[in-house]
């Protein structure tokens, strides 16, 4: 079928629990205060990573590991929003655009709900789409599993691309 392509992406990052401090995490380009930072080669934006994997997956273009290998010093500490801009252009070059994206953040802590609106705004601006094309939801796992033990955050993303 021409005209639509679907992709999914999953990412997990663990908290650096070696020292509790006044720290923060980044989700969808939005800084959220938390006592632990997320361990990563980049800025640890686990939400944007899952989103990019879904966008690449929709066009069978591999994943962010192949496009932005963590062995490459160019990507050390890089803003994931910069990588998202590269992936966005890749999609456009191939003749596609975002139809909609739906993401679920799985985290026991920090509380995500107060930041969802800001995250949606940030991602819709970065992708040059309307706010109603971007959905970000959050859930806990009722204290079960690694997210429930507050050891890290998981994100599931689904993206529908439509031919431009
Ligand atoms: Mg990642």
75 C-alpha to ligand 1 centroid (Å) = 12
Total count of domains within the chain: 1
What residue numbers bound the domain in which 13 lies?
4-163
The whole-angstrom separation of Cα 103 and Cα 43 is: 19
Q: Which portions of the chain are predicted below pLDDT 70?
A: 1, 20
Ligand 1 mean position to 53 CA, how many Å?
A: 9
Cα of 47 from ligand 1 centre, angstroms: 8
Q: What's the confidence (pLDDT) of residue 1?
A: 52
Q: Distance, CA 12 to ligand 1 centroid (Å)?
A: 6
- Tens-digit pLDDT profile for residues 75-118: 888 899 999 999 999 999 999 999 999 999 999 999 999 999 99
CA of 49 to the centre of ligand 1 (A): 5
* Token pair in block for residue 90: 């890749």
Going by the DSSP 8-state scheme, the letter that residue 39 receives in this structure is: P
Q: How many Å lie between the centroid of ligand 1 and the Cα of residue 1? A: 31
What span, in angstroms and rounded, lies between the C-alpha atoms of 60 and 150? Answer: 33
Residues 78, 86: contact at Cβ < 8 Å? no
CATH number of the domain bearing residue 148: 3.30.1330.50
Predicted pLDDT of residue 77: 81
At residue 75, the pLDDT reads 86
pTM over 0.85: yes
Q: Are strands 152-163 and 30-34 parallel, antiparallel or unpaired?
A: unpaired
Contacts 24+ apart (CB under 8 A), 80-85: 80/26, 80/29, 80/42, 80/43, 80/45, 80/48, 80/49, 80/52, 81/29, 81/45, 81/48, 81/122, 81/126, 83/42, 83/48, 83/52, 84/48, 84/51, 84/52, 84/126, 84/127, 85/126
């Amino acid at each position: 079928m021409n005209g639509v392509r679907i992709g999914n992406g999953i990412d997990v990052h663990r908290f650096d629990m070696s020292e509790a401090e006044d720290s923060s995490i980044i989700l969808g380009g939005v800084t959220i205060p938390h006592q632990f930072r997320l361990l990563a080669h980049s800025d640890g934006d686990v939400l944007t990573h899952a989103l990019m994997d879904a966008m690449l997956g929709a066009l069978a273009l591999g994943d962010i590991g192949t496009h932005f290998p963590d062995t490459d010093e160019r990507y050390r500490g890089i803003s994931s929003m910069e990588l998202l801009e590269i992936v966005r252009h890749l999609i456009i070059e191939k003749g596609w655009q975002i139809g909609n994206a739906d993401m679920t953040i799985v985290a026991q802590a920090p509380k995500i709900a107060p930041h969802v609106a800001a995250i949606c705004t940030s991602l819709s601006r970065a992708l040059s789409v309307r706010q109603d094309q971007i959905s970000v939801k959050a859930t806990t796992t009722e204290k079960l599993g690694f997210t429930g033990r507050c050891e890290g955050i998981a994100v599931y993303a689904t993206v529908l691309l439509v031919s431009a």
